[in-house]
Amino acid sequence: MNFVLHGSSVSGGITIGHAHLVSTARLEVAHYHIPEESVEAEIARLDAAIARAAEELVALGSHVPADAPTEFAAFLNLHRMILDDSSLSHAPRTLIREQRCNAEWALVQQMDKLVAQFEQIEDSYLRERKADIAQVVERVLNALIGGQTLAEPLASDEKNLIVVAHDLSPADMILFKHHHYGGFVTDVGGVTSHTAILARSLGIPAIVGLHHARQTIRENELLIVDGVQGVVVVGPDPIVLAEYQLRQSRLELERRKLLRLKSTPAATLDAAVVELHANIELPQDVPLALAAGAEGIGLFRSEFLFMNRKDLPSEDEQFEAYREVARAMNGRTVVLRTLDIGADKTLSGNGAVRPNPAMGLRAIRFCLAEPQMFLAQLRAILRASDYGRVRILLPMVAHAQEIEQALALLKQAKQQLDEKDEPYDHSIEVGGMIEIPAAALALPMFLRRLNFLSLGTNDLIQYTLAIDRTDDAVAHLYDPLHPAVLHLISHSIRTATRAGVPIAVCGEMAGDLQLTRLLLGVGLRNFSMHPAQLLAIKERILRTNLTEVRPLAQRVLRSTDPRRTRELLAKLNA
């Protein structure tokens, strides 16, 4: 065995395969010297790439939809200005001449210099423009390397390949949905970042926070990704390999056994009925949800339809995607969450970096600031509601007026459809995500105004504990068992249940086997998770006696000693 890297497991299972290193162009460009006689050709290569990037920006500008956010055009102008500026387009030429370095290297050197200068600026808005410089450079780098995207198809068998990257954005990750890699490992990222959630939804072993994987693993090297322990074995010796092959076949056997539970109704041993729904990102995920026997879609993260594209999806395009899901679910509920863009999920070209994007214009805040875009999405959802049991879910609500404004826009969207005699479900239900502590604490405000609630525990934990879910430096503090988190969850479930308002959990806690009995014990009867986790959770529910679990769950809630909490949890799961 050569060496082992430790990280945080995102999804279980074991995969054995060969490393495929992928690059985000900016971080990992090639560095090499060029011969004297190639200098002019290298400069011409740089100029051609700059010209191509400029053409892309012009093309983007001419396709801005009428209802696109106003910031979009401003951002394009800014990027064009940066590209035209001699400090970006001319200075690298001098570097190529003087240092005889390749164009990519010259460009990145100049970017680092400019970014360092921006970092000195006191004005925070101007300081943050360094992100725009990086994005423009990335565009030119992509043009230099021939416009390959991260997920270019590979000739070899993808199932035997393990993607190794320094970092992957949610937008990168969604591209991998079109592929069938054996596993993923990254240097950075928290386990509930959207990148990690997407990796989990692929149902393959994945590990984040390995720190040095991208630097130390070589292309094509044999790897074992142990998603159970959160380790990567690099260059395993034959004994270790044989041991892992054995473990892998055992896990596969267990997975196949679980498939037998697909049509078994989820209920505890003492007959408490539980609903199990699936989280999806794209219409193409529906077959997985159905294969796992999901009773419905509990969370359709619609924002992924808006990523990796230069324009916004039109109302018709959205309608078709939503209708596809509604039809495929054939009468089962589809909870369609309205656009939750912001924080780590960005629209291509939405380059205006805010000082603190997780707390900025994200989700419902963004939608209310862009009413035309929001109205288009609401009309698309309403139109799709004629084809199935569609519900609307509003993300990140915290204020009563946000609900009121969203409901007023929904009314307007309905009127617009009425004028055109378009059919839709006139009594479509509207729910809210409880993922900001304020919303959990002021629950009656939401119970009065909404038909159902869904606890977004990923953000609820992030905002309760002030832990950035994407930052692996604080990942160890991201704790679903923190008394404050458990209090907010149990309080919300109890209050909503008493008021007769359905409440679900759709954050990653719903798919965590260690927490199933605890959540059942505090009264949860509706779980929504990635299809890959659903059958294992069902099996746990089928083996649970609620009468035994309830008092233990209450003891976990009362515990103020983290060690004791974990002991009680172990007892609960025994």
Give the residue numbers marked as catalytic.
Answer: 194, 506
Q: Is 470 in the site for ligand PEP (CB under 6 A)?
A: no
Minimal distance, residue 339 CB to Mg ion, in Å: 12
Can you tell me which of 89, 457, 470, 492 binds ligand PEP, judged by CB under 6 A? 457
Phi/psi of residue 253, nearest 5 degrees? -60, -45
Minimal distance, residue 345 CB to ligand PEP, in Å: 8
Task: Output the DSSP codes for 388-437.
Answer: SEEEEEETT--SHHHHHHHHHHHHHHHHHHHHTT----TT--EEEEE-SH
In what helix (H) or strand (E) does residue 223 lie, and over which residues does it extend?
strand 222-226
Q: Is 507 in the site for ligand PEP (CB under 6 A)?
A: yes
Minimal distance, residue 508 CB to ligand PEP, in Å: 7
What residues between 181 and 210 interact with ligand PEP by CB under 6 A? Answer: 197
Question: Could you tell me the maximum CA-CA distance found in the chain, to the nearest angstrom?
Answer: 81
Minimal distance, residue 478 CB to Mg ion, in Å: 14
Can you tell me which of 132, 281, 435, 472 binds Mg ion, judged by CB under 5 A? 435
Residue 552 contact among ligand PEP, Mg ion, none, beta carbon within 5 to 8 Å by kind: none
Stretch that binds ligand PEP, among 96-104, 134-142, 174-182, 453-461 (CB under 6 A): 453-461
Task: Indicate the residue among 182 and 456 with the shorter CB distance to ligand PEP.
Answer: 456
Can you tell me which of 136, 204, 352, 506 binds ligand PEP, judged by CB under 6 A? 506
Q: Is 459 in the site for ligand PEP (CB under 6 A)?
A: yes
Question: Strand runs (DSSP E) across 14-169, as ranges?
Answer: 14-21, 161-165
Distance CA 386, CA 357 (A): 36
Minimal distance, residue 3 CB to ligand PEP, in Å: 33
Task: Indicate the residue among 295 and 459 with the shorter CB distance to Mg ion.
Answer: 459
Do 173 and 197 meet the contact criterion of CB atoms below 8 Å apart? no
Do 210 and 6 meet the contact criterion of CB atoms below 8 Å apart? yes
Stretch that binds Mg ion, among 254-262, 271-279, 417-425, 448-456 (CB under 5 A): 448-456
Task: Indicate the residue among 110 and 279 with the shorter CB distance to Mg ion.
Answer: 279
Q: Which residues contact 215 (CB under 8 A, 6 or more apart)?
A: 187
Quick one: 451 exposed, middle or buried, by C-beta within 10 A (0-12, 13-18, 19+)?
middle
Phi/psi of residue 267, nearest 5 degrees? -155, 150
Interface mask (CB under 6 A) for ligand PEP, residues 323-342, using x and -? Answer: -----------------x--
Q: Is 459 in the site for Mg ion (CB under 5 A)?
A: yes
Stretch that binds Mg ion, among 35-43, 369-377, 435-443, 529-537 (CB under 5 A): 435-443
Q: Distances from the Cα of 384 to the Cαs of 295, 306, 319, in angstroms?
A: 19, 17, 6
Minimal distance, residue 98 CB to ligand PEP, in Å: 48
Q: Which residue has the tokens 């001449």?
A: 97
Minimal distance, residue 505 CB to ligand PEP, in Å: 8
Q: Is 390 in the site for ligand PEP (CB under 6 A)?
A: no
Instruction: State which amino acid sits at residue 459.
Output: D
Q: Is 174 in the site for ligand PEP (CB under 6 A)?
A: no
Residue 82 contact among ligand PEP, Mg ion, none, beta carbon within 5 to 8 Å by kind: none
Phi/psi of residue 7, nearest 5 degrees? -150, -160
Can you tell me which of 170, 296, 456, 531 binds Mg ion, judged by CB under 5 A? 456
Q: Is 45 in the site for ligand PEP (CB under 6 A)?
A: no
Stretch that binds Mg ion, among 137-145, 168-176, 210-218, 452-460 (CB under 5 A): 452-460
Minimal distance, residue 458 CB to Mg ion, in Å: 5
Task: Indicate the residue among 106 and 433 with the shorter CB distance to ligand PEP.
Answer: 433
Quick one: 164 exposed, middle or buried, by C-beta within 10 A (0-12, 13-18, 19+)?
buried
Can you tell me which of 435, 468, 472, 539 binds ligand PEP, judged by CB under 6 A? 435
The pair of structure tokens assigned to 6 is: 């430790």
Residue in 270, 288, 279 with CA at minimum distance from that of residue 197: 279
Distance CA 505, CA 431 (A): 13
Residue in 390, 389, 373, 372 with CA at minimum distance from that of residue 381: 390
Phi/psi of residue 509, nearest 5 degrees? -60, -30
Residues in contact with Mg ion by the rule CB under 5 A: 435, 456, 459
Residues in contact with ligand PEP by the rule CB under 6 A: 197, 299, 301, 340, 435, 456-459, 506-507
